[in-house]
Amino acid sequence: MTDQTGSDTPAEQTDAEQAQRRAGRALRSRSIFGVIIAAALTLLATTQPWWTVLIIDREPLEVAGTVASPALSALALASLALAAALALSGRFFRVVLGGLQALIGLTTLLAAIRSITSPVDASATVISDATGVAGPESIAGLVDSVVLTAWPWVAVAAGALALLVGVFILVTARRWPLATSKYQAVRLQDPNAPRSSVGDWDALSEGEDPTDESTTDTPGEKPRP
């Protein structure tokens, strides 16, 4: 009777590796897609009216997200640039970018909440331009009420999504496949050569531990993923 308790055959190992790569590619695609969706929602929210300020004895003033929270547009554009970098980065930089994405999401979330909780302060410039009145207390005395729309809450949801995607990247980045090129150059390295800061940095960007001698490439071999 054939022993069924032996190690996996090469074919089974290859199938397992391919399944692992497919899972890694799916994680990478979902992460990049999540970053883009969160950034797009943030940009969309900032272009829409966030609330209407009702001023005593004057016409109502509509305040857009670009005025209520001007920093959100820059944060969303930074996320879009980060999404492009994620598609090309190595393991080390994926973790860095994941932390940066989480920070962008947290900042977006807090900025949107701050505007919602203080709409009069966020609208001070618009009110002052329309009435000629300056000073926080004087402006607050002119405002009868503020009617919010749904768009600032969309910005809050986008910030929360961006934060969650950043955390997801931090957790899964090491399982993504390495970025490769069809005509990727072969890096020749002398295994007996002394370590250098440049070589260590290259190894880190490829997700390798420069202090681990087992990951050193031999001459003529391509770097292992």
- pLDDT confidence of 89, banded at 50, 70, 90? confident
Residue 186 banded pLDDT, cuts 50, 70, 90: very low
pLDDT at 96: 92
| 87 and 48 within one domain | yes
- Please tell me the pTM assigned to this model: 0.70
Q: Tell whether 27 and 124 lie within a shared domain.
A: yes
CA end-to-end span of the chain: 39
Residue 77 has a pLDDT of 96
Clarify whether residues 136 and 200 are in a common domain: no
Query: What's the number of domains the chain is made of?
Result: 2
Mean pLDDT of 171-182: 70
Q: Which two tokens stand for residue 195?
A: 């370590």
Would you list the DSSP string of the chain? ---SSSPPPHHHHHHHHHHHHHHHHHHHHHHHHHHHHHHHHHHHHHTSEEEEEEETTS--EEEEHHHH-THHHHHHHHHHHHHHHHTT--HHHHHHHHHHHHHHHHHHHHHHHHHHH-HHHHTHHHHHHHH---SHHHHHHHEEEEEE-SHHHHHHHHHHHHHHHHHHHHHHGGGSPPP--TTPPP----TTSPP-HHHHHHHHHTT--TT-GGGPPPTTPPPP-
Between residues 94 and 1, which one has the greater pLDDT?
94
Do 151 and 61 fall into the same domain?
Answer: yes
Mean pLDDT to the nearest integer, 21-25: 73
Q: What is the pLDDT of residue 129?
A: 83
Segment 123-130 shows an average pLDDT of 85
Nearest to 82 by CA among 31, 151, 47, 14: 31
Q: Give the bridge partners for 145, in sequence order.
A: 54
Tell whether 12 is covered by a domain: no
Mean pLDDT of 96-109: 95
Question: Looking at residues 143-157, what average pLDDT do you find?
Answer: 92
Residues 59 and 110 in one domain: yes
Whether residues 81 and 171 fall in one domain: yes
Q: Of the candidates 213, 207, 173, 163, which has an alpha carbon nearest to the alpha carbon of residue 193?
A: 213
Residues 100 and 209 in one domain: no
Residue 119 lies in a domain: yes
- pLDDT band (50, 70, 90) for residue 210: low
pLDDT average, residue stretch 129-134: 82
Same-domain status, 97 and 153: yes
More confident residue, 138 or 148: 148
Instruction: Identify whether residues 115 and 219 lie together within a single domain.
Output: no
Most confident of 120-134, 151-165, 204-218: 151-165
Parent domain of 212 = 182-225
Closest CA to 202 of 121, 110, 91: 91
| Residue 51 near residue 146, CB atoms below 8 Å | yes
Task: Report yes or no on 4 lying in a domain.
Answer: no
Is 11 part of a structural domain of the chain?
Answer: no
Q: Is residue 166 part of a domain?
A: yes
Is residue 130 located within the same domain as residue 50? Answer: yes
Residue 101 in contact with residue 35, Cβ under 8 Å?
A: yes
Q: Residue 122 maps to which CATH number?
A: 1.20.140
Q: Are residues 61 and 160 in the same domain?
A: yes
* 18-29 mean pLDDT: 75
Clarify whether residues 35 and 119 are in a common domain.
Answer: yes
Q: Residue 129 corresponds to which tokens in the numbers above?
A: 């331009």
Phi and psi, residue 64, nearest 5°: -85, 165
Give the dihedral sign, CA 72/118/136/140.
positive
pLDDT-based confidence at residue 202 (cuts at 50, 70, 90): low
